[in-house]
Amino acid sequence: MIELAHVSKWYGPTQVLNSCSMTIAKGEVVVICGPSGSGKSTLIKCINGLEPFSEGTITVDGVSVGDRTTNLPKLRSRIGMVFQSFELFPHMTACENIVLAQQKVLGRNRDAANAKATELLARMGLAEHATKHPAQLSGGQQQRVAIARALAMDPIAMLFDEPTSALDPEMITEVLDVMVKLAEDGMTMAVVTHEMGFARKVADRVVFMDQGSIVEDADKEAFFGTPRSQRAQLFLSKILQH
């Protein structure tokens, strides 16, 4: 479904991605982890073309992302993305946030879009917050609305860029629960996160990045059991302390 082949990227003289290759099959859940600055956020933003890349190819459901002739907005409408800072549109209510792209990109009429929004919010347990503005919602609620906003587009895959890193501890669970349910329902997911508990629960594979390169790419059991690289071991030992 998603294939990255030898993807490299330079910011001026600095190389931020170093020949990264990986595949995500349909229905797979891949967790990408690694220390700060390892390039994991950049890599995931390359998948839907939010970040350009200098070398290599990325293909999503047969469509090449780096190709100049690709209709990027159309491709992006088929991939859902959830950001660390939620990025709900503050001048719209929760419902309006979810309805906007349905109407303007997918061309759904207002009633259909509203119905979908209501259904998704109910699924998240946020039905009574539909007419609230983001400023009136907690971080965990905002992030769940953000996930609903992405799901409303009926995406073929979902990308998560550190979805819980900006949340207070007591709200992390509610968001992770939503993501676990998504995974169990068979969504193709690429998740950049530090939450190893989540990885252990639902990930199929874990990818470890360091300094722009993919250092390790293994099945969940293999990764947590016997990580092959020293850097992965060091990283794991640091974050598994808590």
Partner 1 sequence: MFTGFDFGILWLNAPFLWNGVLLTLQLTLFAVGGGLLLGIVLAVARLSSIKPLAWLVEGYVNFLRSMPLILVIFWFYTLVPKLIGRPVSGFYSVLIAFVMFEAAYYSEIIRAGISSVRRNQISAAMALGLTNLQSMRYVVLPQAVRNMIPVLLTQSIIMLQDTSLVYVVGLRDFLTSADIVASRDNRPIELYLFVAIVFLVVCFSASRLANRLRRRYAL
Indicate whether 110 belongs to the interface with partner 1 (CB under 8 A).
no
In the set 9, 40, 149, 220, which binds partner 1 (CB under 8 A)? 149
Question: By C-beta, is 33 or 88 nearer to partner 1?
Answer: 88
Residue 113 CB, nearest distance to partner 1 (Å)? 13
CA distance 173 to 109: 34
Nearest Cα to 60, choosing from 68, 40, 192, 70? 70
- Note whether 80 and 158 are within 8 A (CB): yes
Q: HSE of 119 in the Cβ direction (CA atoms, 13 Å)?
A: 9
Residues 153-192 that bind partner 1 (CB under 8 A): 153
Which tokens go with 64? 């090449």
- Note whether 33 and 193 are within 8 A (CB): yes
Indicate whether 144 belongs to the interface with partner 1 (CB under 8 A).
no
Residues 29-88 that bind partner 1 (CB under 8 A): 45, 48, 50, 72-81, 83, 85, 87-88
Indicate whether 91 belongs to the interface with partner 1 (CB under 8 A).
yes
- Note whether 17 and 215 are within 8 A (CB): no
- The residue ranges that bind partner 1 (CB under 8 A) are 45, 48, 50, 72-81, 83, 85, 87-91, 100-101, 104-106, 149-150, 153
